[in-house]
Amino acid sequence: MKVGITKEIYSGECRVAATPETARRLIGKLGFEVLVESGAGDAASFHDESYREAGCTVCGEAVEIWTGADIVLKVRSPQDREIQQLRAGQTLICFLAPGQNEALLQKIAARKATALAIEAVPRISRAQKLDALSSMANIAGYRAVVEAAGLFGRFFTGQITAAGKVPPAKVLVIGAGVAGLAAIGTARGLGAIVRAFDVRPEVADQVKSMGAEFLMLEFDSDEQGGTSGGYAKTMSKEFIDAEMALFAAQAKEVDIIITTALIPGKPAPKLITHEMVRSMRPGSVIVDLAAEQGGNCEATIPDEVTKVEGVHIVGYRDLTSRLAHTSSQLYGTNLYHLLDEMGGAERFSVDMTDDVIRSATVVKDGQVTWPPPPVSVSAAPKEKVVESVAPSAVVEKKIGTFDIALMVIAAVLLVAVALTRDQGFITDFTVFLLACLIGWQVIWNVTASLHAPLMSVTNAISGIIIVGGMVQIGASNPVAAWLGGLAIFVATINIAGGFLITHRMLSLFRK
């Protein structure tokens, strides 16, 4: 079975659907024969010779790919001239934006082909390795900060030098999805003070864990901003008004704004108005990651960097393509896992009973299958189910012969200790019994999985036991001396075992 990799003809696109490394895995592990159009990876620094070394067949013309491959892998959605080369029964895998490109799906269906939209892979745990949308969003968030740093006229981190003091940059990230979190991490790594906002309050802990401040709306509502798929959704007018007031106040304070807000299947919401742009300090930067869907800023011009009253507004739609080498490697890995999920070369099939494959398949043998049925994901809020508690039967514990025997033995032992009339011995024996009781209760209530770390903690206690044993081993009473020696022996075993377990636990975290 043959997989074809074509050169992207979309203007400015530098990525390629398979790198030499991922192509080698397609050949060696999945059994595919890989055809690569000459020059397909040049813009991403992957040259034809490296594909040949990986075992690929390099073709001189794109038509050889379209006519010879059973599966065609691309990055961007196909242009009209590419669609005309699709064959009946051929499978196309790429970004298709099926929610906005119904006409494109109809054109593919007219060719009796099958198409999978890689961005339609559901966000469930099993499909994380196929999630190209998250892979690209991660790169876009990182690159957004890099673009902002190139236009910003100061350091990101604060500095105090002999020549003066430079305050740290203040960055606001709107939208704490994959791209937003990547932007937060990059900006924090450069030393900026980072604030973030998202309509989904459940992401607050993720934002705080990265060292950023999460902005909360003082809004009297139980309105939730997340969908069952983990995306944002359209909010009420009251919520939007409060949100816009927050952004207006922040625009006057921060130096850089990075917007990532998108709602699946709809134009990007306008969050930064012309008035907010004018209120920002000269030299500030806005990077609009939603430019491809119309932009979150009213002043954004797609594919351009504009300057409005001293504020730079970046509207690049090809941020991932500006990091083409890494983007291609991650995207190619996502496609490799998808083909592996579909059975490899020997058992390749478009299994419509598989939730992942069904969700990604938008055209099947000439039939449009978009939209797919909803998939239950972990992000979906669980409904509270009130279960009636059945009355439990009360079982009375009966005292058996063994219990009576233990009680008699304990009573006799206590009487014998009391008859010694040795106040010091009675005191020591009482402390011993209390220590046994408390220690037993502590260990009994610890989860079994924590027993190993607990042994490490008991080293200190064992050290105290050794000190007590050393004191008693020199006593004139031979019984006390023997007990002291026994205490030293047992405590030494515990200490050695504790250090051994600790060493093994720490080795698990070493590479």
Decide if 190 contacts 145 (C-beta within 8 A).
yes
Kindly list the distances between the CA atom of residue 235 and the CA atoms of 128, 269, 504, in Å, as whole numbers in the listed order. 27, 10, 51
Q: Which listed residue (231, 322, 340, 351) is catalytic?
A: 231
Q: Catalytic: 131?
A: yes
Read out DSSP for 170-207? EEEEE--SHHHHHHHHHHHHTT-EEEEE-S-GGGHHHH
Residues 6+ apart with CB under 8 A from 155: 166, 168, 169, 191
Where is 451: in which H helix or E strand? helix 451-472
Set 128, 159, 221, 224: catalytic member: 128
Using CA atoms, how far residue 270 sits from 55, 176, 314, 503, in Å, is 48, 17, 15, 55
- 459 and 499 in contact (C-beta within 8 Å)? yes
Q: How far apart are CA 286 and CA 72, in angstroms?
A: 37
Count of CA atoms in the C-beta half-sphere (13 A) of 230: 16
| Catalytic residue selected from 48, 131, 318, 355 | 131
The residue written with tokens 């979150």 in the block is: 296
- The H or E element containing residue 245 is helix 237-251
SS3 label, residue 12: coil
Distance between CA 59 and CA 62 in Å, rounded?
A: 7
Instruction: Find out whether 342 and 351 touch, Cβ atoms under 8 Å.
Output: yes
Note whether 1 and 32 are within 8 A (CB): yes
d(CA 78, CA 86): 10
Q: Look up 51 and say whether it is catalytic.
A: no
Q: How far is 120 from 357, CA to CA, in rounded Å?
A: 9
Q: What dihedral do alpha carbons 111, 113, 119, 120 form, nearest 10°? A: 110
Catalytic residue check, 231: yes
Q: Which residues contact 280 (CB under 8 A, 6 or more apart)?
A: 251, 252, 254, 257, 286, 311
Catalytic one of 90, 134, 284, 327: 134
Cα separation, 36 vs 53, in Å, equals: 12
Residues in the chain: 511
Q: Which residue has the tokens 């990547």?
A: 182
* Known active-site residue 134: yes
CB 38 within 8 A of CB 60: yes
Q: Which residues are catalytic?
A: 123, 128, 131, 134, 231
